[in-house]
């Protein structure tokens, strides 16, 4: 499918699953090298990261633990900038290597909030692994952003865990909104 319709929006193919999987394999190799003889805590940001995190963890061979946090700042196709926490952080991150797994980083508001909350527990390290990054949308630099699958323009994307008003997460490819 080169183009799809979700609710009232048209989308066109942007990143095919094969390319996504190849990039994830490379990130997994890098994580295995960087965290050799360590036991990182992978913290997935729900709902969007669940597919990326599942595929990423299949490539990780080092011993690790996994958890999730649910935070939202989206309304429709725009980040609202208001953080709404649904589930909290685990409380055992002291002296741990924490890897926050995100589907997409755009403004960085949500990620900045998560990092500041993790820092309160004095972890050994915090790194961020995001499938997508919108550099032009980033409001302030995020030093912890270490692993990025793809840098993209400031387009609205859906699929592979990313949604449009709750729809489209189940698509295996990533689509971008068609220009009108």
Q: What is the pLDDT of residues 92-133, one digit of tens each?
A: 999 999 999 999 999 998 899 899 989 999 999 999 999 999
Cα dist. 111→1, 28, 98, 178 in Å? 32, 21, 13, 27
Q: Answer whether residue 54 shows pLDDT above 70.
A: yes
Show me where the domains of the chain are located: 19-72+96-152
pLDDT at res. 21: 98
pLDDT at residue 6, as a whole number = 93
Is residue 1 scored above 90 in pLDDT?
no
SS3 31: helix
Residue 83: pLDDT band with limits 50, 70, 90? low
* Residue 16: CB atoms within 10 Å: 12
User: pTM for the whole thing?
Assistant: 0.91
DSSP state letter for 178:
P
To the query of whether residue 34 is one of the catalytic residues in this protein, the response is: no
Lowest-confidence range among 73-77, 84-88, 157-161, 171-175? 73-77
Q: Tell me the pLDDT tens digit for each residue of 4-49.
A: 999 999 999 999 999 999 999 999 999 999 999 999 999 999 989 9
Domain 19-72+96-152, CATH class in plain words = alpha beta
Q: Which of 55, 97, 103, 106 is catalytic?
A: 106
By three-state DSSP, how is residue 64 classified?
A: coil
């Amino acid at each position: 499918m080169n183009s799809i319709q979700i609710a009232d929006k048209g989308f066109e193919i942007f990143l095919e699953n094969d390319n996504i999987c190849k990039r994830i394999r490379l990130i997994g190799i890098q994580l295995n090298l960087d965290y050799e003889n360590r036991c990182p805590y992978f913290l997935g940001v729900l709902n969007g990261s669940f597919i990326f995190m599942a595929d990423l963890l299949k490539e990780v061979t080092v011993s690790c633990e996994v958890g999730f946090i649910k935070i939202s700042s989206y309304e429709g196709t725009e980040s609202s900038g208001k953080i709404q926490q649904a589930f909290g952080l685990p409380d055992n991150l002291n002296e741990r290597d924490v890897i926050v797994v995100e589907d997409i980083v755009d403004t960085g508001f949500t990620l900045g909030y998560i990092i500041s909350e993790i820092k309160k527990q004095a972890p050994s390290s915090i790194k961020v692994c995001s499938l997508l990054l919108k550099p032009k949308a980033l409001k302030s630099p995020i030093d912890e952003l270490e692993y990025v699958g793809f840098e993209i323009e400031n387009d609205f994307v859906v699929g592979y865990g990313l949604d449009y008003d709750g729809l489209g997460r189940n698509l295996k490819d990533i689509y971008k909104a068609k220009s009108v």
